Amino acid sequence: MDSQCGTVVDVNIECAVKLVGTNCILYPINSKDLQNIWPFMYGDCIAYDWWLGKVYDLKNQIILKLSNGARCSMSTEDAAKLYDVCPHVSDSGLFFDDSYGFYPGQVLIGPSKVFSNVQWLSGVKPVLSTKSKFRVVVEEVQVVELKVTWITKSFCPGGTDSISPPPSVITQENLSRVKRLGCFDHAERQLGERCLYVFPEKVEPAKITCECPERNCVLGEGSVAKKIKAFSEGSSMVSQVANVELSGCVILMV
């Protein structure tokens, strides 16, 4: 039989997804239903008006909420000095970047001195005594600045004829004009990667299992599993975002 050439038109990946801070695993989850935590990352290709560029550096910050309700913004450099209450084995080593290790809902703890340079957004600023420690929740992750290498300009009918590229630094007020070119994100998921997953209105019980030392427990046999079941069945919570990690096997179907 003669050999034939073809073109890959779609990639379907089924993921085993572990909820951060629990032993519960969702499977199968289509990789197209997983969302990136950060809007932009190093190496991303972007479109800015009529220009195509590639991100070579960026500045990030996170929004934190304290137990007294106060909110502040902190650079990822300072946030890296805090400790994750639910750390993961992949959170250290050569391939881990502190700048991208944060996600909404993450619980951090650390000394008050780390909060000396933060910007307080709302609420009552706590007393920063030398011996006190703060327990905070990550409310939001933000990109505040992009540094871009411009590649080319597309044809723009009725637009400017200037061939001068935009400034290499895009500040926060102009980030709304930036579009990330990530049509194939779903085909590039990796083991241990953190993503966001929005629970649908109904989660099939067969998709949720809870890890036990001796065997896999079916949903309903553990307290954590019951919480997940209640979460997925609650009509007022279906739009909540869950933090997940890719775990176990990834099946490629081309």
pTM value surpassing 0.75: no
**Closest by CA position to 18, among listed 97, 93, 86:** 86
Q: Indicate the DSSP class of residue 41.
A: -
Of the CA atoms within 13 Å of residue 162, those in its CB half-sphere come to 7
Q: What angle do CA 7, 190, 193 make, to 5 degrees?
A: 145
CB 16 within 8 A of CB 27: yes
CB atoms within 10 A of CB 221: 13
Question: pLDDT tens digit string along 121-156?
Answer: 999 999 888 888 999 999 999 999 999 999 999 877
Q: Roughly how many angstroms between the first and final C-alpha of the chain, as a whole number?
A: 22
Structure tokens at 5: 């050439």
Per-residue pLDDT band at 60 (split at 50, 70, 90): very high
Distance CA 243, CA 182 (A): 20
- What pLDDT is recorded for position 240? 38
Q: 226 — phi, psi (to 5°)?
A: -65, -40
Q: What angle do CA 134, 103, 31 make, to 5 degrees?
A: 160
Which of the listed ranges 24-28, 62-66, 92-96, 162-166 does the model predict with the highest average pLDDT? 62-66
CB 221 within 8 A of CB 210: yes
- What pLDDT is recorded for position 221? 42
- What pLDDT is recorded for position 206? 57
User: Position of tokens 């411009």?
Assistant: 150
User: Position of tokens 């599993």?
Assistant: 225
Average pLDDT of the chain is: 79
**From the centroid of its chain, how far is CA 1?**
47
Q: What angle do CA 88, 35, 205 make, to 5 degrees?
A: 75
Q: Indicate the DSSP class of residue 8.
A: -
Query: Which H or E run includes 71?
Result: strand 71-75
- List the domain boundaries for the chain: 12-37+188-253, 45-181
- What is the Cα Rg of the chain in Å? 22
Per-residue pLDDT band at 70 (split at 50, 70, 90): very high
Question: pLDDT tens digit string along 82-120?
Answer: 998 877 655 655 445 566 778 888 899 999 999 999 999
